[in-house]
């Protein structure tokens, strides 16, 4: 009987150590921002206000994390309605035909300290490309309701022309490279 009990304890510890934990993005404490050079002299900043994402991982250091993220293109906001409406047209995102951008991770590698490299597939319009994000893991903390939260900042740069965004192909008015910064807070599932 004692051996059976020890066997069951060992199995439950093994199962618990391989249990996957799911985290979901907290939109009230997260931001999806971008910046693009305008006319070679200044920058236009913008954001997407609607997005969703999740992390599923079994390891405490998250190196086995599977990360998925979706952005609602129609939620673009640059502070100028006329520009936002233009960005939704076929000149840029074609939000009517391609209402979402998606990201699916292929790896999440730990570097020094709290630095990671997130690799995955980014889909904008009808194009999917490999992309890498430099990630800073801010750690975890409990909020006032006792929920466990995890914070991240992820940055990358993408060439918009790679995603069939062909407006101003010279890059003279709107630069080709777009800097993307995500400040994200995730809530651990209970």
Task: Name the residue among 83, 159, 167 with its Cα closest to residue 122.
Answer: 159
Q: For residue 110, list its beta bridge partners.
A: 116
Residue 8: pLDDT over 90? no
Task: Name the residue among 166, 10, 186 with its Cα closest to residue 90.
Answer: 166
Whole-angstrom Cα distance, residue 36 to residue 138? 26
Fold classified for 20-188: Lipocalin (2.40.128)
Question: Model pTM?
Answer: 0.87
Residue 12: pLDDT over 50? no
Q: What is the phi/psi pair of residue 117, to 5°?
A: -120, 120
Domain ranges of the chain: 20-188
Who wins on pLDDT, 134 or 13?
Answer: 134
Tokens of 2: 């004692």
pLDDT of amino acid 134: 98
pLDDT of amino acid 60: 85
Tokens of 123: 């889909």
46-71 confidence digits (pLDDT tens) = 999 999 999 999 998 889 999 999 99
Whole-angstrom Cα distance, residue 78 to residue 32? 12
């Amino acid at each position: 009987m004692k051996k059976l009990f020890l066997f069951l304890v060992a199995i439950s510890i093994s199962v618990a150590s391989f249990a996957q934990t799911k985290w979901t993005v907290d939109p009230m404490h997260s931001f999806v921002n971008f910046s693009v050079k305008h006319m070679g002299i200044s920058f236009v900043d913008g954001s997407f206000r609607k997005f969703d994402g999740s992390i599923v991982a079994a390891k405490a250091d998250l190196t086995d994390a599977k990360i998925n993220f979706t952005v609602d293109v129609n939620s673009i906001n640059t502070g100028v309605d006329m520009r936002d409406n233009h960005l939704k047209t076929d000149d840029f995102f074609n939000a009517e035909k391609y209402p979402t951008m998606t990201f699916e991770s292929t790896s999440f590698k730990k570097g020094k300290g709290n630095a990671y490299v997130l690799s995955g597939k980014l889909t904008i319009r009808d194009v999917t490309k490999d992309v890498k994000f430099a990630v800073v893991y801010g750690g975890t903390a409990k909020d006032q309701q006792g929920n466990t939260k995890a914070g991240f900042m992820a940055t990358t740069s993408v060439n918009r022309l790679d995603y069939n965004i062909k407006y101003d192909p010279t890059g003279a008015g709107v630069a080709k490279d777009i800097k993307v910064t995500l400040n994200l807070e995730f809530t651990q599932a209970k």
